[in-house]
Amino acid sequence: MGILSLITGKPGASGFGSGSTAEQVTEGISAAGLTVLVTGGSSGIGLETSRVFALRGAHVIIAARNTEAASEARKRIMEIHPVARVDVLKLDLSSLKSVRAFADQFNSMNLPLNILINNAGVMFCPFQLSEDEVEMQFATNHLGHFLLTNLLLDNMKTTAKSTGIEGRIVNLSSVAHLHTYPKGILFDQLNDKKIYNDKMAYGQSKLANILHAKELSRRLKEEGANITVNCVHPGLIMTNLMRHSFALMKAIQVVTYLFWKNVSQERQLLAT
């Protein structure tokens, strides 16, 4: 997609462009019988993703740290689509203990899993360590999703094999992966407060998302599993992810306003 098409939203060969919404992309498509798990599905683009999948008939599992907000999101979806199937489960991606507890709970429900969207994250936050003593952006954006994916992978393989329907794993990354530390991911200095840079730390967590998707895709293909793994940079949009850098992002938005999308337009990337 060229810069002009990105700005104007001009449709490409698929018939859709940067201005297309998830509802437009999925129009006429049924997701009935599919189970979709969305991390961070209680607000922003995660909520819109959950809403549109529910609209198309999927059983949506919203995995969120704040279950009160997630329950409110579920209520909003149900008000719009009364017959939607939406459940809420607690998941704190910054805690490996919570990730394991979530996976145990989900797997005990004996549900299939067709689609996993690793959407939740934190961005540009001040230096802090998770309960596992790992820098918070790397812990939440990468390690939590990495473990979650591994713990749910057998379920996804079984679901894909028994149904014949290709499974999908989508990691939400960012163009910020290009702006990490000069040496890339600093595995030996993740928790070094002296060199911590909130922007570069975010970038290295997003680079890790991409490397995870690339390697997992290779392994699943080699194994012959009917699951695809992709990373996606969803575009520029002002959501609560920007809460630690609101002033900076608003300033950037003024200069680059032509490239920014609304929530509905952004979700079309996850729907295709």
Catalytic residues: 196
In 82-191, where does DSSP find H-type helix?
A: 96-108, 136-138, 144-163
Burial category of 240 from C-beta neighbours within 10 Å (exposed 0-12, middle 13-18, buried 19 and up): exposed
- What SS3 class is residue 150? helix
Which helix (H) or strand (E) segment holds residue 35: the answer is strand 35-39
Place of tokens 């003593």: 133
Cβ–Cβ < 8 Å for 44, 270: no
Q: What are the backbone angles phi and psi of residue 56, rounded to the nearest 5°? A: -90, 5
Cβ–Cβ < 8 Å for 103, 92: no
Cβ–Cβ < 8 Å for 85, 112: no
- The first and second tokens of residue 259, run together, are 């490239």
- The first and second tokens of residue 69, run together, are 């907000």
**From the centroid of its chain, how far is CA 131?**
22
Distance CA 181, CA 237 (A): 24
